[in-house]
């Protein structure tokens, strides 16, 4: 009987000892869900969604002309050149839509509604919103929400050649997802820091959202950005309280903004 107990103790010692050694000496990676989809796969997923949900949609009109394209290229390059090391190649397009909004799809695909450009008093305001969307990309908020809401299995199914219906479902989820407060705060802080690096006054973000708040009294369906980006007052406060470095000097973007707005009418 004693021998049997002794044998059992030896077995338990071996099991626990082996388990301890396994977790102590062999590195394990418990990455968060968003890190389980590589950048390469995220970009492929983004391209599939853009092709299915945007380019093939007859109701979606992408505005492209030399004047508008040049302005968007200048603003995006000023911002992306200050990100530092990034894994993304940003693709920014303007869509004909009166809604004052912008949205981000996986893989660095950012879409700006023409209504947002029309509403912006100057290019720096648009740059502030674009910097915020870039923050969502760099923090991987978009792909993280897709994994959380749809699961990796569905995403990998589409990447492996899933049908168009699945791709459309993923696209709808990505376009309609509302980020939580933490994600919005992270994207805002990223944007403020990026604006400073790009020599654009970060307080322009507060000015933009304050003007949005002024419009709230006459709320209409074209102000959907307010619904998808809650807590505007706290975000205005954070932007106003953001402290730039002592030697910071802002520089105006050299763009004819009225000409850019007029170019929206030219397809």
pTM: 0.81
| Cβ count near 119 (within 10 Å) | 23
The verdict on residue 22 lying in a domain is no
Predicted local distance difference test score (pLDDT) of residue 213? 84
The verdict on residue 1 lying in a domain is no
Count of domains for the chain: 1
Predicted local distance difference test score (pLDDT) of residue 165? 86
Is residue 246 within 8 Å of 44, Cβ to Cβ? no
Predicted local distance difference test score (pLDDT) of residue 177? 67
Rounded Cα distance, 53 and 58, in Å:
10
The verdict on residue 11 lying in a domain is no
Of 221, 210, 133, residue with least CA distance to 179? 133
The verdict on residue 19 lying in a domain is no
The verdict on residue 26 lying in a domain is no
The verdict on residue 216 lying in a domain is yes
Rounded Cα distance, 2 and 200, in Å:
79
Instruction: Tell me which residue range forms the domain holding 115.
Output: 34-263
- The pair of structure tokens assigned to 198 is 């790009």
Predicted local distance difference test score (pLDDT) of residue 22? 42
Rounded Cα distance, 115 and 220, in Å:
13
The verdict on residue 63 lying in a domain is yes
- The pair of structure tokens assigned to 15 is 């099991």
Sequential pLDDT tens for the chain (267 residues): 555 544 454 444 544 544 444 444 444 444 454 447 999 999 999 999 999 888 888 888 999 999 999 999 999 999 999 999 999 999 999 999 999 999 999 999 999 999 999 999 999 999 999 999 999 999 999 999 999 988 999 899 889 986 788 888 888 888 876 788 889 999 999 999 999 999 999 999 999 999 988 876 544 444 445 444 446 788 889 999 999 999 999 999 999 999 999 999 876
The verdict on residue 254 lying in a domain is yes
């Amino acid at each position: 009987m004693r021998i049997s107990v002794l044998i059992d103790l030896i077995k338990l010692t071996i099991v626990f000892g082996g388990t301890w050694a396994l977790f102590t000496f062999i590195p394990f990676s418990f990455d968060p869900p968003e890190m389980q989809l590589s950048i390469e796969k995220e970009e492929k997923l983004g391209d599939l969604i853009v092709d299915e949900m945007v380019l093939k949609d007859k109701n979606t009109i992408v505005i492209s002309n030399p004047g508008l394209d040049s302005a968007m290229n200048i603003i995006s390059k000023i911002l992306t050149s200050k990100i530092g090391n990034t894994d993304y190649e940003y693709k920014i397009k303007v869509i004909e839509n009166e809604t004052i909004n912008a949205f981000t799809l996986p893989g660095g695909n950012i879409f700006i509604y023409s209504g947002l450009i029309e509403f912006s008093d100057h290019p720096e305001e648009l740059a502030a919103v674009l910097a915020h969307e870039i923050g969502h990309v760099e923090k991987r908020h978009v792909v993280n929400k897709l994994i959380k809401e749809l699961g990796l299995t569905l995403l990998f199914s589409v990447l492996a050649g899933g049908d168009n219906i699945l791709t459309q479902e993923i696209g709808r989820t990505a376009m309609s997802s509302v980020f939580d407060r933490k994600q919005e705060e992270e994207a805002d802080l990223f944007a403020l820091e990026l604006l400073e690096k790009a020599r654009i006054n970060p307080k322009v973000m507060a000015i933009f959202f304050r003007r949005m708040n002024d419009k709230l009294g006459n709320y209409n369906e074209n102000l959907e950005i307010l619904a998808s980006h809650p807590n505007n007052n706290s975000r205005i406060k954070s932007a106003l309280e953001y402290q730039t470095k002592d030697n910071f000097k802002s520089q105006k973007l050299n763009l004819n903004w009225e000409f850019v707005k007029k170019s929206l009418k030219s397809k």
